[in-house]
Amino acid sequence: MTTPAPEKTARRRRPRQHRPTHRARLRLGVTGWVVSWLLPTAVMGGLLLGLSFVPGLDDQGFLTPLIPLIGGAAVAVGIPGTLLVSWLYRHHLNPSVHVLGYALVGLLYGPVVLLAGTGGLMPMLIPLVGFPAGVLLGVGRWAAQPLTTVEDPADRTPTAAAEGRDDD
């Protein structure tokens, strides 16, 4: 017994859709990345340092050890996270997507507090670190928006990507 040959259908085949290989992309330079990552992280460390000097606020010594943890989170989570967000969303020209991605990376600073130990009040400090870091990184990426450019391969010239700003 043999298998019959498949029959060809009468419907017409559609030609393949041609997708452009090069799309416009949002480019954030080194200066913009430093403004959007390092500046908010330094502000977060400065806030924690300032809060540790407030009398009565740091009686148990929970805020002072968080300063090196913020630095570690910025290096271990912040650098790769912000670079990954910038790379993943490079073809999304809407700056809100980038701001939300950076805010999400900032929220990931919070669980790094667990490295200091799981006893006592330390796990309760995750929101104290994560939420402000998320807000600060989001605001930092929003502040770096004038430093971004849109590269359109059709034009072959980068144009300013600031909201409503044209070089014409």
Does 167 map to a domain? no
Does 12 map to a domain? no
Does 90 map to a domain? yes
Higher pLDDT, 39 or 4: 39
- pLDDT, average across residues 27-43: 91
Does 89 map to a domain? yes
What is the CA angle 23-134-52, rounded to 5? 150
Burial annotation 72-84 (CB, 10 A radius, 16+ → b, else e): ebbeebbeebbee
Cα dihedral 78, 31, 25, 101 in deg (nearest 10): 30
Distance CA 74, CA 34 (A): 12
The model's pTM is 0.74
Query: Which pairs with CB-CB distance under 8 Å and at least 24 residues apart come from 121-125?
Result: 121/60, 121/62, 122/62, 125/62, 125/66
Domains in the chain, number: 1
Does 13 map to a domain? no
User: Terminal CA-to-CA distance of the chain, rounded, Å?
Assistant: 74
Structural domain including 36 reads 25-52+62-160
3-state secondary structure 22-83: CCCEEEECHHHHHHHHHHHHHHHHHHHHHHHCCCCCCCCCCCCCHHHHHHHHHHHHHHHHHH
48, amino acid identity: L
pLDDT tens digit sequence for 86-134: 999 999 999 999 999 999 999 998 888 777 665 666 677 788 788 999 9
Give the helix/strand (H/E) hosting 148.
Answer: strand 148-152
Check residue 162 and give its pLDDT.
47
Phi, psi dihedrals of residue 111, rounded to the nearest 5°: -65, -15
pLDDT tens digit sequence for 134-165: 999 999 999 999 999 988 877 765 555 444 44
Does 36 map to a domain? yes
pLDDT tens digit sequence for 18-32: 665 678 888 888 999
Does 2 map to a domain? no
Question: And the tokens for 65?
Answer: 């050890």
Higher pLDDT, 8 or 25: 25
Does 166 map to a domain? no
